[in-house]
């Protein structure tokens, strides 16, 4: 099994040699788990445990092969060696032996080690391979969550990525210590959430997270998460690419409040997308927005154009098919709204100065095109002239 793991991890293609590591080095963590879980693994992130001298080793690798060394924790002797797209973390062993190091980890499936001996060996002190085989997420020790509460959130990310079943005793530990997450730096929490919402089985993990109130400090009693596994069983109308747009956004929007997104450091672009989706979710009249007037309907499609699959996911199946068909048609004037004339063309044609009127006129032309009253540039110029003649006094 150990040789098969090295084969699956393409060790011959690593940017370093196995004999660069000191005697007693082990490969641990996600790379081992993923190699056991999948027959073919494309992995460029590795975690190694060395007996001593992790930072020194990374600097030696940088000098030998190039690349960069980043010291992650000087006190605990942890560093990262970066070479192109490769990210290799190296940590000095904690405790008196490898077993003592591994049982300090979060879950059994992350406590499997590959000893880099002349004849490599698997070391599995807490039956992680068994739990991986049975697709169970099992905690090693409750105190390990107290030492680093981010491991609670990481567990749900693993459920989302690997389709694992949460062990009942482990769930007790997670629930009991969920409030400790508030003390973790926001950037670490954000990174885990970003991975979770993009994972295939996130909708199995999120209801349990809500049940134990894991993200309650970043929710503020807003609309609850709507899309569990049962409500997502009918998404056959969506392509994989459309679901990649829709699911992460709708999960994040319904997982964290506006303030929660800000407190955790999500980008302005992400917050804007979530806020817009939340706004239009609340505007949904249950009839696919048929009750909106033209200006509001146009605003919906302007604001949500690139993220519309997320909003479509909230509609009935019949409406989903109609909306997706129109969204896929890039010539659809409402679902992909734009003006046939730009600002420079309008200024030249009307011989008018720069001013806020340009935006108003472009929006007007966009609306007329969106609702089928404008079809080509010739009509657009005529309509622009008509608009100008009737609005010019108000544009000065």
The CATH number of the domain holding residue 70 is 3.30.460.10
The region that residue 167 occupies, defined by phi over 0 for left and psi between -120 and 50 for alpha, beta otherwise, is beta
Bridge partners (DSSP) of residue 139 are 107
As a whole number of angstroms, the distance between CA 215 and CA 268 comes to 20
Nearest CA-CA partner of 9 in 94, 104, 118, 120: 120
SS3 225: coil
Q: Cα separation of 316 and 338, whole Å?
A: 27
Q: Is residue 385 part of a domain?
A: yes
DSSP 212: T
pLDDT at 4: 84
Binned average pLDDT, 10 residues per bin, the chain of 396 residues = 84 88 92 77 83 96 95 93 94 93 95 92 95 96 96 97 96 97 96 96 94 92 56 78 95 94 96 95 89 96 96 92 96 96 94 92 96 96 94 70
Domain-embedded: residue 333: no
Residue where a domain stops, chosen among 134, 168, 198? 134
Picking from 134, 155, 171, the residue at the C-terminal end of a domain is 134
The pLDDT value given to residue 304? 97
- pLDDT for the residue numbered 221: 64
Residue 364's φ and ψ, nearest 5 degrees, are: -65, -45
Q: Are 365 and 341 in contact (CB under 8 A)?
A: yes
Task: Report the number of distinct structural domains present in the chain.
Answer: 2
CB atoms within 10 A of CB 276: 19
The model's pTM: 0.88
pLDDT of residue 220: 77
Is 225 among the domain residues?
no
pLDDT of amino acid 223? 58
| Domain assignment of residue 361, given as a range | 343-395
Residues 6+ apart with CB under 8 A from 27: 9, 46, 47, 48, 113, 114, 116
Domain ends where: 100, 134, 168?
Answer: 134
């Amino acid at each position: 099994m150990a040789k098969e793991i090295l084969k699956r991890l393409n060790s011959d293609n690593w940017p370093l040699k196995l004999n660069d590591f000191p005697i007693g080095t082990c490969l641990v963590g996600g790379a081992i788990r993923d190699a056991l879980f999948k027959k073919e693994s494309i992995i460029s992130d590795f975690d190694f445990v060395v007996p001593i001298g992790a930072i020194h080793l990374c600097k030696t690798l940088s000098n030998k092969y190039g690349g960069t060394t980043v010291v992650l924790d000087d006190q605990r002797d942890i560093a990262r060696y970066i070479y192109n797209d490769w990210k290799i973390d190296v940590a000095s062993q904690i405790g008196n032996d490898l077993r003592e190091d591994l049982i300090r980890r979060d879950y059994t499936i992350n406590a499997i080690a590959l000893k880099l001996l002349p004849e490599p060996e698997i070391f599995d002190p807490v039956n992680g391979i068994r739990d991986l085989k049975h697709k169970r997420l099992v905690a090693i020790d409750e105190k390990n969550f107290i030492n680093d509460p981010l491991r609670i959130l990481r567990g749900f990310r693993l459920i989302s990525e690997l389709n694992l079943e949460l062990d009942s005793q482990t769930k007790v530990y997670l629930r009991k210590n969920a409030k400790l997450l508030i003390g973790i730096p926001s950037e670490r929490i954000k990174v885990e959430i970003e991975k979770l919402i993009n994972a295939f089985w996130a909708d199995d993990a999120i209801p349990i997270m809500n049940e134990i109130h894991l993200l309650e400090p970043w929710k503020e009693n807003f609309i609850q998460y709507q899309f569990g596994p049962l409500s997502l069983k009918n998404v056959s109308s969506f392509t994989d690419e459309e679901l990649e747009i829709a699911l992460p956004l709708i999960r994040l929007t319904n997982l964290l409040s506006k303030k929660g997104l800000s407190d955790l450091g999500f980008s302005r672009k992400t917050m804007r997308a979530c806020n817009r989706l939340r706004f239009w979710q609340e505007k949904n009249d249950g009839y696919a927005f048929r009750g909106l007037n033209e200006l509001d309907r146009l605003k919906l499609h302007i604001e949500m154009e690139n993220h519309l699959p997320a909003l479509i996911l909230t509609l009935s199946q019949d409406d989903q098919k109609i909306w997706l068909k129109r969204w896929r048609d890039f010539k659809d004037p409402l679902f992909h709204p734009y003006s046939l004339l730009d600002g420079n063309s309008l200024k030249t044609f009307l011989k008018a100065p720069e001013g806020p009127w340009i935006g108003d006129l472009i929006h007007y032309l966009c609306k007329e095109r969106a609702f089928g009253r404008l079809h080509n540039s010739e009509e657009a110029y005529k309509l622009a002239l008509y608009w100008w003649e009737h609005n010019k006094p108000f544009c000065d």
